[in-house]
Amino acid sequence: MWAEEKTALVTGATSGFGAAVARRIHAGGGRVVALGRRRERLDALTAEFRGERIATLAVDLRDMDGIAAALDKRPAAFEHIDIVFNNAGLALGLAGAHDANLQDWRDMIATNVSGLVAVTHAILPAMVARGRGDIVNMSSVAASYPYPGSNVYGATKAFVRQFSLNLRADLLGTGLRVTSIEPGMCETEFSLVRFGGNTGAADKVYAGMIPLNAEDIASSVEFVLRQPPHVNINSLELMSTQQAFGGFAVSRDG
């Protein structure tokens, strides 16, 4: 099996892309360290995997000290990490910058940027010492294409994309690979979180079109990881066929 003898650390493993990638790696014969905030969902994933080749860590990525403490507690059998899937992240609100909630901004930066950096920093030295491994970071098309209300969310994903590219520069010659995955509209819990649990508002985002889904992203991650060692996919951007780019916005109020 393609992931046999490999151990993957998956953040945000309790839903969406994280859960789908964790399942795919496990099905491919790999071991999974599933990190997430919701203990009950981590327990459900453990039960789904029948307790085999899985370790779970309950931690909020906004808790910098908690990240290091949680990673230190992983079982010895999961010590050597071969794959890091930095997936945990969120968008909060869709208000313009002048109306946005400052705490929402802080939470997005803490999770999407600071948490991702902390996880990477904790795992990277050992990967470099072993001379192999994959770091796959979840960015977004919002990293490259602005849209109203994306303000800080888009900025955090631009950081993820640029951080990934700079890791590539730093890790040249180490044997490690780094990829930024940059999807467009995907129907997971993303919009439900963005709109504070408002199902109606979340459903409107995908009304009348077929968006990407978690399995599409998991398939893309598997594609990246299956490449031969001499191939690094720097970034992978994908969208629904029914999503494309708009023209420039122009204000004509005089």
Residue of 85, 114, 109 whose CA lies nearest to 218: 85
pLDDT 10s per residue in the chain (254 long)? 999 999 999 999 999 999 999 999 999 999 999 999 999 999 999 999 999 999 999 999 999 899 999 999 999 999 999 999 999 999 999 999 999 999 999 999 999 999 999 999 999 999 999 999 999 999 999 999 999 999 999 999 999 999 999 999 999 999 999 999 999 999 998 888 998 999 999 999 999 999 999 999 999 999 999 999 999 999 999 999 999 998 888 999 86
CB-based contacts of 218: which residues, under 8 Å, 6+ apart?
17, 20, 21, 23, 24
Distance CA 64, CA 67 (A): 5
Q: Which of 145, 147, 153, 206 is catalytic?
A: 153
Distance CA 198, CA 85 (A): 28
**DSSP 8-class letter at 75:** -
**DSSP 8-class letter at 55:** E
Q: Exposed/middle/buried for 153, CB within 10 Å: 0-12, 13-18, 19+?
A: buried
Residue 153 catalytic? yes
> Which fold is adopted by the domain 7-238?
Rossmann fold (3.40.50)
